[in-house]
A and B are shown apart, each in its own frame.
Chain A
Amino acid sequence: KAGVTQTPRYLIKTRGQQVTLSCSPISGHRSVSWYQQTPGQGLQFLFEYFSETQRNKGNFPGRFSGRQFSNSRSEMNVSTLELGDSALYLCASSWLGDSSYEQYFGPGTRLTVT
């Protein structure tokens, strides 16, 4: 069974631009969560989608948004990029929207904002 895939793996953007990251969950998984990982703030929860609905949202500004499609694939968008948005963005998928089930993480997208 294929794992969680994230595209692109690496991305360089300029301050003020916007970016879209993609996550394809494991087949059959309906929940997709996104996390930001930085050396200073560690791993922080961005949001979770379950059956195309945002179910949880972390403490991030409105510049961070996401969506989930009917095939469970998810995208996250960051508008008006700031230098501080440079991070590894991880997505995780799970069969159900219950944290007792294992979440499988993708390899991440490394975003660098210059």
Chain B
Amino acid sequence: AQSVTQLGSHVSVSEGALVLLRCNYSSSVPPYLFWYVQYPNQGLQLLLKYTTGATLVKGINGFEAEFKKSETSFHLTKPSAHMSDAAEYFCAVSPLTGGGNKLTFGTGTQLKVEL
């Protein structure tokens, strides 16, 4: 069974500082990988995804993530945090075949951005 581990349930950064949110997956075969963001009282919005091809994936709002098979990781980064980035971030995986649209989510990381 696939699983996702997000290290750090809460991360705090200063505005303008680097954002690094960690995600490791467990799967016998590298799955599809996703990062979603959730603002208060809203649904989830896709930031970026890795399916095949280039391992460095660029997403919306200046975020990017790198798929590292050897480390089974898909960490999310942003060079310079903005106050509007404060939200909860979820890493998710989905199997390449047979899983349909089923997503398995990590427990989430609450990002706080301070002045």
Q: Are B100 and A99 in contact, CB atoms less than 8 angstroms apart?
A: yes
* Stretch touching chain A among B18-26, B38-46, B73-81: B38-46
Assuming A43-B90, A99-B95, is B44 touching A105 (CB within 8 A)?
yes
Number of interface residues of B (CB under 8 A): 24
Q: Which residues of B contact A98 (CB under 8 A)?
A: 100-101
Q: Which residues of B contact A103 (CB under 8 A)?
A: 46, 101, 103
Q: Are B95 and A45 in contact, CB atoms less than 8 angstroms apart?
A: no
B89-115: CB near A (< 8 Å → 1, else 0) gives 010101100011111111110000000
Interface of B is mostly: loop
Q: How far is the CA of A103 from the CA of B45 in the complex (A)?
A: 9
Interface of A is mostly: strand
Q: Are B103 and A105 in contact, CB atoms less than 8 angstroms apart?
A: no
Number of interface residues of A (CB under 8 A): 28
Q: Which residue of A lies closest to B94 (CB)?
A: A99
Cβ of A74 within 8 Å of any chain B Cβ, yes or no, is no
Q: Are A33 and B101 in contact, CB atoms less than 8 angstroms apart?
A: yes
B33-60: CB near A (< 8 Å → 1, else 0) gives 0001000011111100101000000000
- 13 A-B pairs with C-beta separation under 8 A: A31-B100, A31-B101, A43-B108, A48-B100, A48-B102, A55-B100, A56-B99, A58-B102, A97-B100, A97-B101, A98-B100, A99-B95, A101-B101
B: residues with CB less than 8 A from A are: 32, 36, 41-46, 49, 51, 90, 92, 94-95, 99-108
A: residues with CB less than 8 A from B are: 4, 31, 33, 35, 42-45, 48, 50, 55-56, 58, 90, 92, 94, 97-108
